[in-house]
Structure 1
Amino acid sequence: MTGSAYKLLVLDIDGTLLGKDGNILAEDREALARVSDSGIKVSLSTGRAVQACTQVLDELSLDGYHIFCDGALVYSPAYQSEVYVQALDKTVLKRAVEFAHVHEMGIDFYSATRYFVERETWSAVVHRDFFGIPPTVTDFDEICERETIIKAGLVATSPEEVTMARRFHLEFGDRLHFSWVTTPSYPGVDFINVVAPGVSKGRGLEALTAHLGITPAETVAIGDGNNDISLLSSAGLAVAMGNATSGAKEVADYVTLDVERGGVAAAIKKLLL
């Protein structure tokens, strides 16, 4: 399939668009603008919640639908409209809160539009300072009842927190889907996305393309992490970053440059423009 036959470009954020300094390279931004000008839609596909993507969406002037929370939500912040959502089961959510309280484990929760914490944590500071998201401090027992929670998040900054996150994963691995991801902006820190079972970026892509009236085969996907494997496997053309995991590279049709060298722009110029 030629570049002009593709209707949609979907790409990850951390490790794909954003490198160590947390900024989009000028060449990547310019290449994405040219893709949009050519008539190909551009969407993000990320483990981040909606609120953590505002700056990227604004910088790239993307006002369409995007895949958030590792595929649990397909949503347009510009239109405030969702076309697909897989929320956490409230009974499982209550059990997760109980586990966090008993073990004094930090955990965050996200609805489509809000970010919740019970107390000030390193994660809350990062969300406020890096993402520009002020947390809503609330009693988690209450949000289990009144909110539709799409994603839970754990952050492990020490061996002790990694051990606790693994205990949580062991306890709930049969009732929730876990993806362990990293970002170049915070080396050595594990970000654990927790969503409903069966959720994946690949399923999010199916929902997004169905809404747009196209097929996944008409999509180009770019990613770097293991949580991108289902996305890459579902797309018509799969591109792995040079800094991608071995698993992502194995399912890719093409491996581009790494994130610090403008891998997104290089792939676009070779495959789409």
Structure 2
Amino acid sequence: MCSAKPYYSVKKIVDDAQLNNIQTALAGAILIDPSNLTVVKKHVIENNIATGLTKKILDNNIYTEIYMTDKYFIQKSQKNEITKLHNFTLSFEPIMVNDLINQIKKSKIIKILPVTKTDEERKIVEQIFLNYKDKLAIGWSTHPAIKGYFFGNITASGISKKQSILEIVSMYKINTKNILGVGDSLTDWDFIGVCGYAGAMGNATEDLKKLVLSKGDNGYIGKSVNENGILDIFNYFGL
């Protein structure tokens, strides 16, 4: 699994699939061994940087979540429709605090997640981020179950799904040419692109489908998520 979600939100999938190799979560910011739930590696955002960035985003009244390895927080005053929708997709509720900045000061933050609904809000986040671009990384994503919202996954500099896959490959001494990468959004190409084989769900974005098919016989578009598309892709590649 290579997910922007926290590990506790995908743990059931990992367990059901009986995956026992190291997994990556929080947009590549942590690596976890599912056999004993040990955090093999984590990339913590410097506290003063996390505090400064989050304060500027909150000052613009933009909904923001902050993540540690095993929990996430929101400011109680910001609880709204996004909270309910995101709870559903994460299968996990946030801890609501009165002051998010104070919480950051006493926490090891792995990911900051501003959620925007308008182009104007997204531009505000991107403008704020410019002052931190040498210290942090940002990757925008969407979710099919939460249409109309954009999620700004902010992690420590150099951290991404691609980087986490390369870390795992190095640990297991595997050639990326022998790896199959599967996703459903354009941002997934970040890690799929380095894999020798590529797959996209039937309900994936058209941009991702085109990139997957650019790998020729090593690329395949499966059925949609609701039709067990991952099994269709596995079958195509003889797995």
> How would you bin the TM-score normalised by the shorter chain?
0.7 to 0.9
Three-state SS of the structure 1 residue aligned to 2:63 is coil
With over 3 angstroms needed to count, the CA separation of the structure-2 counterparts of 1:77 and 1:154, relative to structure 1, is farther
Amino acid aligned to 1:140: L
- Alpha-carbon displacement from aligned partner over 1:167-207 (angstroms, at most 9, x marks no partner): 11222142432222222222222222122222121110111
Equivalent residue number for residue 171 of structure 2: 211
Matching residue within 62, 85, 106 for 1:126 = 85
With over 3 angstroms needed to count, the CA separation of the structure-2 counterparts of 1:205 and 1:191, relative to structure 1, is same
Q: Take 2:95 and 2:35, find their aligned partners in 1: how far apart are those partners?
A: 22
Q: Take 1:78 and 1:133, find their aligned partners in 2: how far apart are those partners?
A: 21
Superposed displacement of residue 268, structure 1: 1.0
Q: Take 1:248 and 1:109, find their aligned partners in 2: how far apart are those partners?
A: 31
Equivalent residue number for residue 140 of structure 2: 180
Q: Take 1:248 and 1:73, find their aligned partners in 2: how far apart are those partners?
A: 27
In structure 2, the gaps of 5 or more residues are: none
Q: Take 1:270 and 1:54, find their aligned partners in 2: how far apart are those partners?
A: 26
Matching residue within 123, 137, 141 for 2:101 = 141
Superposed displacement of residue 235, structure 1: 1.5
Q: Is 1:231 equivalent to 2:191 in the alignment?
A: yes
Equivalent residue number for residue 220 of structure 1: 180
Three-state SS of the structure 2 residue aligned to 1:234 is coil
Q: Take 1:225 and 1:130, find their aligned partners in 2: how far apart are those partners?
A: 16
Matching residue within 207, 216, 222 for 1:246 = 207
In structure 1, the gaps of 5 or more residues are: 1-43
- Alpha-carbon displacement from aligned partner over 1:207-235 (angstroms, at most 9, x marks no partner): 11222342323311111223212211221
Q: Which has the higher contact order (CA 8 A, sep 6+)?
A: 1
- Alpha-carbon displacement from aligned partner over 1:3-30 (angstroms, at most 9, x marks no partner): xxxxxxxxxxxxxxxxxxxxxxxxxxxx
Three-state SS of the structure 1 residue aligned to 2:73 is strand
Q: Take 1:98 and 1:218, find their aligned partners in 2: how far apart are those partners?
A: 43
Structure 1 segment 1-273 matched on structure 2, within 5 A: 44-119=1-76, 120-138=79-97, 139-156=99-116, 158-159=117-118, 162-173=119-130, 174=133, 175-242=135-202, 243-247=204-208, 249-250=210-211, 253=215, 254-259=219-224, 260-273=226-239
Percent identity among equivalent residues? 18
Please, what TM-score do these two structures have when normalized by structure 2?
0.83
Aligned residues: 227
- Alpha-carbon displacement from aligned partner over 1:110-165 (angstroms, at most 9, x marks no partner): 01111111112333323434433121123322233221111111223x43xx4223
